[in-house]
Amino acid sequence: MKNYIFLILISLLLAACSGTKHLPNGEKLYTGAEIKLENADKLNKKLVKAAAEGAVRPSPNKSYFGLRPKLWMYNIAGDEPKSKLKKWLKKTGEAPVLLSSVKPAVTAEIIDAQLFNMGIFKSFTESKTIEKELTAKVIYTSHVHKPYIVKDLSYDISDDSLSRLILSEKDKTLIKPGDNYNLDALKTERMRIDAFLKNKGYFYFNPDHLLFKADTSNINQDVSFKLTLKDSIPKDALTVYHINNVHINQNYSLNERRLRSAQDTIIVENMVFFGKEERMAIKPKVLVNSIYLHKNDVFSRQNHIITLNRLMSMGNFKLVQVNFAENNDSGPGLLDVNILMTPMPKRTFRAELDLVSKSNNYAGPRMNLSILNRNTFSGAELLNLNLAGSFEAQIGNKEENLYSYSYNPQMELTFPRFLLPFKIKSSSSFYVPKTRLLLSYNYLKRVNYFDMRTFQFVYGFKWKENIRKEHELNPIDISYTKVGNQSDAFSTLLDSIPFLKKSYEEQFIAGGSYSFTYNEQMLTGKKLQSYFRLESELAGNVFSLANRIGGVKVSSANPSTILGSIYSQYAKLSIDGRTYYNFKDKNKLAVRLFAGVAKPFGNSAVMPYSKQFFSGGPNSIRAFQINSVGPGTYDQKTDTLGIVQIGGDIKLEMNAEYRFGIYRFFKGALFVDAGNVWLQKSNPSNLGTPFQFSGFMKELAVGAGVGMRIDVSFFILRFDLAMPLRKKPELEDNFRWVTNEINFGSSAWRNDNLVLNVAIGYPF
């Protein structure tokens, strides 16, 4: 009897969630449409079917395994909800999509129109409604044929100047013989030609002035195109415009439209600047280098966009407008340019206070104070003075009183140009190249264990080829770290692990670095987005070369020093590749692969501690505490102090994460992480197993979990709860998987295995 009651309750629940319980009298719930193709042997069925499905209206209520929870929420809220809960349910839910709202005949015509745009000119679509007791769906059957193909493209441009230009670019046309007819391709080709003409001075030309005339052949099922101009085109659309006067106002405000009084002006390289030079915030010569609209030049939309982007990327203006106006007084075909720039405040102060919680149970407050001074030396330079401080303690450790504090003053000066002792040819990139000078000091106090002081100086450059490609070159990157006031406990730990002791000793690093980033994430309309970052470093080679010239033999057994400190010599390379697959429902699958290798040589036997690879933590393998994985089969639990981690020379890490929406800015995730770090065979340490191609797969730590994110676009707070699936690398192969030990009901298992990561931003 109990089983029958249970089945009845389940049936009632399913009926309620299916959304068919509260339908109006005589109505049926529309559950969607099915597309069938007839005579589709010689065409791309998948492509044609997708086009037809995109034309189907309306969309049915969202369904999950036959259940419609949003429709159910809408129904239980009632017609006139009064409580906050029911109002929320009504707003969040979905109104029922009824069969009476479906117009199959109209939809069939839209499907045929969509197929016509693909070159299937003679399709016709039939509809059939399949009704059940409470639901109904529509089957659309499209009778199709092979799409018409492009036979050829000819040109008949009445204007000689336009004809010469368009014919000079005909090899770049998107309309190629043998391709299927496609209306979107024709539209894109008109836009391509328009963009080309805009860069040749045709300021008032637009794509609508171009006309494709089609001649179809029913026998061969092909189309011949002729590109012509429309009969009535304004005279200005056929006129090549040149730049006349260039006016620049770098202190523009909206009030100036009313207060248009006479102003002082100066002329720099044929550009007119408003105001007195001594009162101008940014020197005119600096702005001239970012303005690509010059007097007497042919108008170019590309130069217009370059000018706009470069001025905005300086970081000194909140708004930049570039306006054009015909100057009939000076003659026909001339454009005056007005560049209006609204400056940002010269100084900005910012204070941030965070509560930091790490996966190794350290938590505490962190404060960051910064002052940004814009246009420091009247050349659009940005000076950022920053002071950060933090305090953290290990929560839940009853045996040790583990806490630390740090402070980090930093000065960064950015120039909107390459700062070099020699001149280089200026590029026409959309973005301003930048030179960066960085000077910082960091003090870290691990109370009762050690002090660490780090000085750093960086001189480098950043520049972008385009919106996707960015380079960073730091020819000078110098850092010096000194560890002092070591306690007996910390010294004993270092003595027990010679590799760790050695990596803490060699902390004078002088070298350079280069990185290249390719990022498609800003291309929001792309279904498959890619990200690639390459980083490389070299250090110590200049000092070793100087020693060799001086007759000093360099070796790790008897290392050379600079100013009394052993300098590090190494090479390091890492690759970070990611792929993002965007689903139609705005969900996303993100996959990441990271691989890195570092090689100490010459003056060094091991990598400096700050340059080693680490694995584990909120942006790595989330089922393990920060930096706690590896190297190889080494068990870091032997570090009873819990204040240092051991890195490696080689790192391999793989991550996969499915991200989905929950409600508004609440997002969810399911993820799997795997990876480890290893020492090279040449490393003198015997920690764990060195990296071997034949066995590294067996030593990967694996974890999985679920996550919740609060994503409000400008701020992302992330919670990831993870558990290990494969760990215990110190054990034999057959005992490393721990899936058979999973026991959510055991508090002891939860304490030992569940790791909660709280972080800002997505992990990758």
Render pLDDT for 230-258 as a digit per residue (tens, 0 to 9). 988 899 999 999 999 999 999 888 666 54
The reply to whether 262 and 139 lie within a common domain is no
Domain count, the chain: 4
* CA pair distance 131, 98, nearest whole angstrom: 12
> Are 159 and 307 part of one and the same domain?
no
Q: What does the block give as tokens for 652?
A: 């391999």
746 shares a domain with 690: yes
Mark whether 129 and 233 lie in a shared domain.
no
pLDDT at 30: 92
| Residue 447 lies inside a defined structural domain of this protein | no
List, as own/partner pairs, every contact residues 252-258 make where C-beta atoms lie below 8 angstroms and the sequence separation is at least 24, other chains included: 252/321, 252/340, 252/341, 252/342, 253/342
User: Quick one: 255 and 326 in the same domain?
Assistant: yes
Nearest C-alpha neighbor of 318 from the set 298, 340, 351, 286:
340
Distance of CA 115 to the CA centre of its chain: 35
Find residue 656's DSSP bridge partners. 591, 672
Query: Domain containing 168: what range?
Result: 149-238
Give the pLDDT of residue 732: 61
CA distance 174 to 157: 18
- For the chain, which residues score pLDDT lower than 50? 1-16, 258-260, 398-399, 640-641
The token pair that represents 666 in the structure block: 């609440």
Residue burial 478-512, b: 16+ Cβ < 10 Å; e: rest: bbbbebeebeeebeebbeebebbebbbbbbbbbbb
- Classify residue 359 by its DSSP letter: T
Task: Report the CATH number at residue 281.
Answer: 3.10.20.310
What pLDDT, on a 0 to 100 scale, did the predictor assign at position 711?
A: 87
| 12, 122: one domain | yes
Domain shared by 557 and 589, yes or no: yes
* Inter-residue contact 344 to 250 (CB < 8 Å): no
599 with 727, same domain: the answer is yes
At residue 136, the pLDDT reads: 92
Residue 323 lies in a domain: yes
Let me know if residue 10 belongs to a domain: yes
User: What tokens were used for 583?
Assistant: 């689903």
Q: Are residues 679 and 700 in the same domain?
A: yes
Tell me which of 311, 343, 375 is where a domain ends: 343
| Domain contains 738 | yes
Question: Which residue blocks in 56-158 are alpha helix, DSSP H?
Answer: 69-76, 84-92, 104-116
Tell me the C-alpha distance between 89 and 76, whole Å: 8
Establish if 293 belongs to a structural domain. yes
Distances (CA, A) of 382 to 46, 427, 430, 474: 54, 22, 20, 18
Do 622 and 635 belong together in one domain? Answer: yes
- Among 280, 313, 343, the domain boundary falls at 343
* End position of a domain, from candidates 317, 343, 369: 343
Q: How far apart are CA 388 and CA 365, in angstroms?
A: 11
For residue 12, count CB atoms less than 10 angstroms from its CB and return exposed for 0-12, middle for 13-18, buried for 19 or more: exposed
Considering the domain boundaries, does residue 473 fall inside one? Answer: no
Strand pairing partners for 457?
A: 439, 478
